[in-house]
Chains A and B, each alone.
Chain A
Amino acid sequence: MAYSEQVREAFRAELEGIREKGLYKEERLIHSPQSADIRVEYPEGAEVREVINLCSNNYLGLSSHPEVIRAAHEGLDARGYGMSSVRFICGTQDIHRKLEHALSEFLDTEDTILFPSCMDANAGVFEAILGPEDVMISDRLVHASIIDGIRLCKAMHDTYKHANMKHLEQKLEEHQDKRLRMIITDGVFSMDGDLAPLDEIVALAQKYDAMVFVDDSHASGFIGKTGRGTPEHFGVMGKIDIITTTLGKGLGGASGGCVAGRQEIVDLCRQRARPYLFSNSVAPPIISASLKVLEILSATTERRDRLEENARFWRQGLSEAGFVIKAGDSPIVPIMLFNAKLAQDFARDLYEQGIYVTGFFFPVVPAGQARIRTQLSADHDIPMLESALVKFKAIGDKHGILGLDKKAIIAKFGL
C-alpha cells in the first residue's frame, strides 16, 4: 500500500475538519530566549514584535538564567552532549543519580527515578505498579498524560468530581473490595490554577486505606513556603506515596520528569516502567543545569516569593478591573470568558497590543468555560504587569465585559 492520492485526501479531509471546528493549532516563532518579554513572529512571515509573555510555564524565570546556562555548559564540557542509551544499558552517569538524590531531598521522598519527561512518568507509573485487582480513582480534571497512563494500566478506573471530597469518599467506600486503591490528582490544576485539597485527600486516604498520587508539575519549585510543592502548602510532606513532576516548567524549563515516592514504587518503575526502559536518558547538560536549579531554590526563596507577589498583584488588578477570574493560590490565573469566540478574539486583540496570551475552549476545557489563561513568572516585574493590566482593561472595555458576572457575560455572548 502506497501513500496514494486517496490516503492523502482522507488525511486532508481530517485536517479540514479540525480547521472547520476552529481547533487548528498554529505555532508562533519566537526569536529570543524564553523570558517575560520575547520577540515573536506571528503569523509566519509577519514582522517580529516585542511582546510581554503571559503564557509560559517559566514560573521561576530560570529558563534563561545565567547560572543555569553556565551549569548546562559545564555539564556539556564535563559529561558530553548525549548518552546514546537508555538508562539501564549505559545511560546512567553519576550526575543522573545525583539529581535523583537531590530531587528526593527537595521533595522529601524515599527515592526518585528520572524519566525523559513527566508525560512519560505519568504514562509509565500506573502500569508498573497496579493490576486488575486494583482501582485508580482520579479527579476528573487530571492532565492528559495521566489519562494516557490510566488507559495503559489494567487496574479498574473510576473518577470523582473535580476536587469534590464528598464524591471521592463515596468512591473510596464503593471500592473497598479492591486489593489496592490509588487516589490520583494534579497538585495544581493547569487549566484552572486551583490546588487539590491534599490535606483532606490524605485524611481520606488514611481512613479508607488508599495510596495518594500527585502530579506537581505546576507546583514544584514555588508552591509552599519553600517551594517544595502542594504537599508543603497543605502540611502533608512525606505523606504522598507518589509525586510526579517535570523539569520542563518551573524547575528550569528544559525537559525531563520524574516519579518520586516510596522506595518500592520507584524500584518497580526501574524494572517495569516502559518509557524509562525504552526511551533515551536525559542529556547531561540538562541534568547538570537541573542540579543547579535545585541548588538555587534550596539556597533562597527569593524567586518563589517574587512570583507569589506578582500573582497576588495580578489577581487583585484583574478583579478590581472587573474581570471574572478563577480563585486559587497559584500563578495560573484564568480569566473566564465562557464563549469560545470571545476568548479567541480577546487573545488576538491582546496580541495586537503586545500581550501574548492564549485562549482555551472546548475540548481543552469543559464546554461553556472558555477562558484566557495567564501565567505569571518571577521574571515579570510590577511595572510590566501594570502596563499589561492597562491593556487588558482596554480590551475588556472594547468587548464590554468589565464588571459583568458569569451570567451577564453568557447573556451577552452566548455559550
Chain B
Amino acid sequence: MAEEMKDLIIDYIRNEYLDEEDDDMELDESTPLITSGIVDSFSMVSLKRFLEKKYSISIPDEEATPDAFNSVTSIMTLVQRHLG
C-alpha cells in the first residue's frame, strides 16, 4: 500500500512538474520538492487536489504547507493521517 502510494505520487510529480528534458533527473521519496524548486508553492495546488481526489480526503489549507509538501515522504505522512 505504502509502496503503491509512493509510486503513484512520484509518477504524478514527474508528469505534472517535470519536462521531458528532466527525464534523467532522480526523484525519490526524500528528494526536496519545494526547496529545490521542482514544485513551486504557486503550482502546489494541483498536487493537493490530485491527492484529495485520489484518496477521497480533504486536506485543510492550513495543513497544505510548503513543509508538508516538501518530499514524497512528508506528503505520504499527511495523506495517511487523513486516511485515518
Q: Pick the 10 closest A-B CB pairs, nearest first.
A: A367-B37, A159-B43, A366-B37, A158-B46, A140-B43, A147-B42, A367-B36, A362-B37, A157-B45, A161-B19
Chain A positions within 8 Å of B19 at CB level:
161, 164
Q: How far is the CA of A147 from the CA of B45 in the complex (A)?
A: 13
Given contacts A140-B40, A157-B45, A367-B37, 16 further A-B contacts (CB under 8 A): A140-B42, A140-B43, A147-B42, A158-B45, A158-B46, A159-B42, A159-B43, A159-B45, A159-B46, A161-B17, A161-B19, A164-B19, A362-B37, A363-B37, A367-B36, A368-B37
A-B contact count (CB 8 A): 20
CB closest chain-A residue, reference B42: A147
Chain B positions within 8 Å of A164 at CB level:
19
Chain A positions within 8 Å of B36 at CB level:
367
Number of interface residues of A (CB under 8 A): 12
- Identify whether the interface residues of B are mostly helix, strand, loop, or mixed: loop
Say how far B45's CB is from chain A's closest CB, in angstroms.
Answer: 6
Chain A positions within 8 Å of B17 at CB level:
161
Chain A interface (Cβ within 8 Å of chain B)?
A: 140, 147, 157-159, 161, 164, 362-363, 366-368
Chain B positions within 8 Å of A363 at CB level:
37
**Which one of A147, A158, A161, A363 has the highest number of Cβ atoms from chain B below 10 Å of its Cβ?**
A161
CB closest chain-B residue, reference A161: B19
The contact sample of 20 A-B pairs, CB cut-off 8 A, is A140-B40, A140-B42, A140-B43, A147-B42, A157-B45, A158-B45, A158-B46, A159-B42, A159-B43, A159-B45, A159-B46, A161-B17, A161-B19, A164-B19, A362-B37, A363-B37, A366-B37, A367-B36, A367-B37, A368-B37
Chain A positions within 8 Å of B40 at CB level:
140
Q: How far is the CA of A358 from the CA of B19 in the complex (A)?
A: 27
Mask of B28-66 contacts with A, CB within 8 angstroms, 1/0? 000000001100101101100000000000000000000
CB closest chain-B residue, reference A167: B16
CB closest chain-A residue, reference B36: A367
Chain B residues numbered 4-32 whose CB sits less than 8 Å from any CB in chain A: 17, 19
Chain A positions within 8 Å of B42 at CB level:
140, 147, 159
Chain A positions within 8 Å of B43 at CB level:
140, 159
Q: How far is the CA of A22 from the CA of B3 in the complex (A)?
A: 39
Say how far A325's CB is from chain B's closest CB, in angstroms.
Answer: 17
Q: How far is the CA of A362 from the CA of B36 in the complex (A)?
A: 9
Q: How far is the CA of A164 from the CA of B42 in the complex (A)?
A: 17
Chain B positions within 8 Å of A362 at CB level:
37
Chain A positions within 8 Å of B45 at CB level:
157-159
Say how far B31's CB is from chain A's closest CB, in angstroms.
Answer: 13
CB closest chain-A residue, reference B49: A158
Chain A positions within 8 Å of B46 at CB level:
158-159
Chain B positions within 8 Å of A161 at CB level:
17, 19
Q: How far is the CA of A164 from the CA of B46 in the complex (A)?
A: 16
CB closest chain-A residue, reference B17: A161
**Which one of B17, B19, B37 has the highest number of Cβ atoms from chain A below 10 Å of its Cβ?**
B37
Chain B positions within 8 Å of A157 at CB level:
45
Say how far A3's CB is from chain B's closest CB, in angstroms.
Answer: 30
Say how far A329's CB is from chain B's closest CB, in angstroms.
Answer: 21
Say how far A21's CB is from chain B's closest CB, in angstroms.
Answer: 12
Say how far A123's CB is from chain B's closest CB, in angstroms.
Answer: 15
Chain B positions within 8 Å of A140 at CB level:
40, 42-43
Q: How far is the CA of A140 from the CA of B43 in the complex (A)?
A: 7
Say how far A92's CB is from chain B's closest CB, in angstroms.
Answer: 35
Q: How far is the CA of A362 from the CA of B32 in the complex (A)?
A: 15
CB closest chain-A residue, reference B18: A161
Say how far A335's CB is from chain B's closest CB, in angstroms.
Answer: 19
Q: How far is the CA of A363 from the CA of B39 in the complex (A)?
A: 12
Chain B positions within 8 Å of A368 at CB level:
37
Q: How far is the CA of A158 from the CA of B37 in the complex (A)?
A: 17
